Structure formats: C-alpha cells, structure tokens
Structure 1
Amino acid sequence: MSAERGSLRARTVRQVSAFTVGQLAAFAPVNAYTLAPSRLLIEQALRAGAPPLRATTTEPVDEDGIRGEWVRGPRADRTDAVVLYIHGGGFVAGSVLGYRGVASRLSTATKLAVFTLDYRLAPEHPFPAAPADVAAAFEWLTRRYPADRIVVAGDSAGGFLAAHLAVENARAGHPEPGALVLFSPMADLSLAIAIGNGKGRRDGLLSTQIARQAIAAFTAEPFDLRPVRGMRLPPTLIHASDTEYFGADATELARRWHDTGAHCELRVWPDQMHAFQTLPMVVPESRTAYRAAARFVATHLETAPAVFTQKVPAS
C-alpha cells in the first residue's frame, strides 16, 4: 500500500458499498420497524466479514449485572493484562456475537484475552445506559486486574464510549485504563465536525441522515468529548480513514487528547470505509491495523503506570 492510496480492493469495497448498502441505509429510517432487521443484517455482515479465527475459545458472562463474552484467540497466552472491547453500531446495534471475529483477531494480535461487553442499546435503553454499562464493566475488571493492565478498545460508537469512559474517570479522579485503542471513533454527537468535514458522500456506509437518527435514539441532547488540559488520560491510539464520515472526528479527538498533555498517536488510512478494521475478510489493510494496535498495546503495557508524554498526531 502506498502512502497516498489504499489498496484497489479497499477502494472498490468502499465505492460499491456507497452505491449499495449506503444507498439502502439512507432510505431506511431508524425506527421500531427497521431496527430489528437492521440489527440482524449488521450482525450477519460482521460475522461474514470477520469470522472467528480457528481455535478461538469463548466463554459467556452474565454476573453482577455484567453481560458479555470472553474471547481468546490462537496464541493468546498472556494473563497479565486484558482488553475490554466496546463494539460499534451507532449505539443502536451491534452484539458480542457479531463482534466475536473482531475480538478473536485483536486477542490473537495482542496475545491477551478480550472481554467484549454486551452493553444496553438505544432506543430501548437511551443515555446514560450504555456509558453506565461500560463504567460498570471496567470497574468489574479492576477486581481482577490492576486498572493500568486493562486496555479499553472500541470502534465507531464504541470508540466514543471508550473515550468517554477515560474522560469521565479522569474528571472524577478514578483509575484510568492502561491504554485506549480507538478505531474510527465518533467524537461529536452534534455532528458539527463530521458535517463540516464534508466527506460523508465518500463513506461507504454512513451519512448525516443515518448518523443523526441513530444519535437521536441514543440521546436527545447530543454532546461531544471535551477533555481538558491536565487530565490524566491514558495513552491512546486512534485509527481512521481520510474518506470516512467520522474521519474529522478522529483527527479532532486526537488533537484534543494531545492538548491535555497526554500521549496520543493518530494514523489516518487512505481510501478506507468507516471502521474497516471490522471487515478483515474483505479489507486487507485491517490486518495491518490489528498488528499496529498490538505493537501499541505491547509498548504501553510495558510501562505501568503509563507514561504520559506529548506527541503531535501525525498521519
């Protein structure tokens, strides 16, 4: 892959999706009639685009109000740390089953067990249900691991929830995760950043209409992530694309993270669709993204407590 352009396959997938799935989604409002079939279609697409790796093991969890699944990929033999994964789906869709393949690959790459959280979805459970579930899951994991040995990762809306956890923990003086890994994170639920970016038409899946409907189901008062200088935020890796709807959100979130004095690395991938890491069977660059995430995790788990240094985000 050149520095300027993504693979032909990745560009083709994005362009075809824009004229098929993207167009269909644009005409299917998020409501009581469309939500159930949409959730099923998203789960099936994720399972096809990211089937679990062979020899992956899973273990369901339903205790202390925490629901989810432990996923251990091949060669995931480290027991000194863990990954908490917060799935995407615009706050209204996504499931641990649909994300089992994603968790399998992240587990294999990092050699760590991954706990995928089954948080409550909107509109049945609007804000603050999902953030409360994420906070409860993190606290539950701290009974098993030191906070700085917990990596919190997520994509899209899950990336927003992961970053929200870190900001709220910092604001309240609670322990922080050892690191964050965010794939195509949302940062501003008002969509001001995304709309100003003007690249929605190039995204293979998302549009302002779709995003606005999903966010309205989640909260009637959209807000953005605004960490302030001096907050002790965890070292963070952000991956996004230059052609995705929330690409500018990711870039702005990295800037805000850096402005607090925290360590943040931003990688902007060319010609990719939103959350391309969730489709490794379709998008070859996703495998490179997992390896990069694993290197970042390995580096920052070796420094506990985490070292907070300034680093200007760079593409």
Structure 2
Amino acid sequence: MTQDPIDTVVARVRAVYSRWRRDTPVSQMRADWDALFDVEVDAEVEPVAACPVPCHWIRPAGTRRDAVIIYLHGGGYRVGSVASHRDLMARLATAAGVQVLGVDYRLAPEHPLPAAIDDAVAVLDWLEQIGIAPECTAVAGDSAGGGLAISAMLSRLKDGKPSPAAAYLMSAWTDLTASGASYTERSELDPIHQRHLILAMAQGALGADRAADDPRWSPLHAPRDLFGRLPPMLLQVGERETLVSDTVDFAMRAQAEGAPVQFEIWPGMIHVFQQFAGDLPQAHEAIAAGGHFIARHLAPAAKTE
C-alpha cells in the first residue's frame, strides 16, 4: 500500500526530533533542521546586512525589485534560518512575483526574546531608509516567525510608524502560554507538537524572568486598539495542529476590532505544511494563495517609459 504523502512528511520530521536529547548541542539541532530542507532553488540568493541584521535576498527571475516580502522563519526562536526556509521563500517570491528578504534574526538561548523582535523591527526600519515604502512592503512568516511578524508590526504601530501593506502567516505562534482550546482538543490529531513541547520552547525562547503572556512576544494579548490598525492579513493553519487556536483566536480578535484579517484551516494538514512543497500538493496551493494575497495588496509597480 502506498504511504500517504503527509505520513511521509511526518516521518521525516519525527526522524529529526528523535535524534535530539537533553544534551544535544543547539548547534547540532540547527544543522539538522537546515539539512531537513536542504534543496537547490531556482533563484538568485544574495547576502546583505540590513543595519546590521544578516539577511539574504531571494530573487527568482522576473520578480519585482521595487517591492519586497520580508520573511521571518520559524523554529521556536531556537532553530531555523534562511537556509532551512530558502525553498519556501523562493516559492513564495515566485507566487507573488516579488523579491523576498529572508531575515537571520538572533536566536535563543544565546539571544532570548525580545532580540528577535528588535531585529525584525530594525529590518523594517532599514527598508524605509533605503527607499522601499511600507505600501511596497509585505511580511510573511511561519510558526515562531509568524508570531514574530505580528510582534514587529505591533511594535512599529505602537511607535507611530506605518505597517506594511499586507502579511501572510503560516501556523503563527501568537500565544507563548499555549492557552488555546486546541492544545487539548486537537492533541490526538497533531502528530508532532504537544502542549508540553510548546511550553518548553517558550521557556527556552524567553529565558529567566520573562512572562510568557507579555504582549511583546505573545501578540494574542496585545492591546485592542493596536489590533484595529493591522494591515490585511492572511493566516493559514493545518487542521491537525494543536496551534489552531493561535491562528483562530488571533484572527477573531483582530476582526472584532475591524482589522481585515482572514484565516484558513487546511484539512488534514500539519504544522507549517507549506514547507513541504516538494511532497504535498496542498503546500503548492497554499503558497500560491499567499503569494496572490500579497500581490493584490502591494502598491502597483511604477510604469516605465
């Protein structure tokens, strides 16, 4: 009997997790995670220092250079990088027709939160400094990177700065307290992420003496007035995720304040299924939808004579 593609994906992820022990160095975890997604991409990849956060331009042929999608990778604020997400970023760039700027923000435990938020905000500020206006900027991210994208936008809004034109977020981690109903209601459906693991990742990201419900890194708990100032956002989450509440609860609160936020629950899919576009046709469809969403909300390209 042929194995279901989603089961193949789950087995690959579990194989990586099974190698990790309490004494596994974080450097090894990061190398293992990058290797899981090590594929060649059909895109120009160029490193750049974004004042001074290390980033990479991901530019498939024909993508716009007068607009940008800032991509913030997932990995629980502990693993993940531009390398682990290069394929996903290239596919999103192609779907949107826009270059992507992948951000290698600082990771815990060396740099606990809010270091990652500070880096994401710095990159948004830097883009304005080099002449890319907010209406030509979108943000995207998955898991911790999805929550990070929201946190960075809220931080700028709090400081009176404009938000990007749109956001596309996958399995966004918006509540480091893992308080949503789905952590229990979907625990048997999720083959990978259970609440105790999420809480352990949160503790590792925060370090000592930082509250998990702080709205700086748990944007689900942000002040109501900021929710209403968010840009158009598309959130996607897999049906087989304990983190479903992080998406649904956030989107519902934003909608209640008048923000143009919509969400999709993808049947049968797991956490950040979009990262497995080589295995899952649903990943292609989801990324295409995210790219089209971004493209619709960016300012049109300037006409040339």
TM-score normalised by structure 1 residue count: 0.84
Superposed displacement of residue 295, structure 1:
1.5
Are 1:84 and 1:115, in contact at CA under 8 Å, matched by a contact in 2?
Answer: yes
1:24 aligns to what?
18
The alpha-carbon distance between structure 1 residues 124 and 92, as it changes in their structure 2 partners (threshold 3 A), is: same
Cα 1:10/1:245, change in 2 over 3 Å: farther
Q: For residue 288 of structure 2, what is the aligned residue in structure 1?
A: 291
| 3-state SS, counterpart of residue 202 of structure 1 | coil
1:277 aligned partner? 274
Q: 2:37–2:85: 8 Å Cα contact kept in structure 1?
A: yes
Is 1:221 the counterpart of 2:211? The answer is yes
Partner of 1:53: 41
Match of 1:68 in 2: 55
Alignment of 1:204-283 (within 5 A): 204-219=191-206, 220-223=210-213, 224-225=218-219, 226-227=221-222, 228-229=224-225, 231-283=228-280
Give 1:202 deviation, angstroms. 2.4
What does residue range 88-107 of structure 1 map to in structure 2 within 5 Å?
88-107=74-93
Q: Which residue is equivalent to 2:108?
A: 122
Q: Secondary structure at the match of 1:206?
A: coil
Matched, 1:13 2:8: yes
Deviation of 1:22 after TM superposition, in Å, equals 8.1
Matched to 1:43, the amino acid is D
Structure-2 separation of matches of 1:263 and 1:274: 24
**Secondary structure at 2:152 match in 1:** helix
Secondary structure at the counterpart of residue 148 of structure 1: helix
Bigger drift between 195-204 and 179-188 goes to 195-204
Separation of aligned partners in 1, 2:52 and 2:254: 31
Aligned residues between the structures: 288
Superposed displacement of residue 128, structure 1: 1.1
Aligned identity (percent) is 29
8 Å CA contact 2:9, 2:276 repeated in 1 = no
Q: Secondary structure at the match of 1:200?
A: coil
1:174-208 superposed Cα distances (whole Å, 9 cap, x missing partner): 11011011001011101111664432342232222
- Let me know the Cα RMSD of the aligned residues: 2.3
Deviation of the 1:211 alpha carbon: 1.6
**What is residue 167 of structure 1 aligned with on the other side?**
154
Match of 1:33 in 2: 24
Larger relative contact order (CA 8 Å, sep ≥ 6): 1
In structure 1, stretches of 5+ residues that fail to align are: 1-7, 305-315
C-alpha separation in 2, matches of 1:135 and 1:287: 29
Q: Which runs of 5+ in 2 are unaligned?
A: none
Q: What is the alpha-carbon distance in structure 2 between the residues aligned to residue 194 and residue 60 of structure 1?
A: 41
Paired AA for residue 288 in structure 1: E
Amino acid at match of 2:134: A
Letter in 2 for 1:300: H
* Alignment partner, residue 140 of structure 1: 126
Q: Does structure 2 conserve the Cα–Cα contact (< 8 Å) formed by 1:69 and 1:96?
A: yes
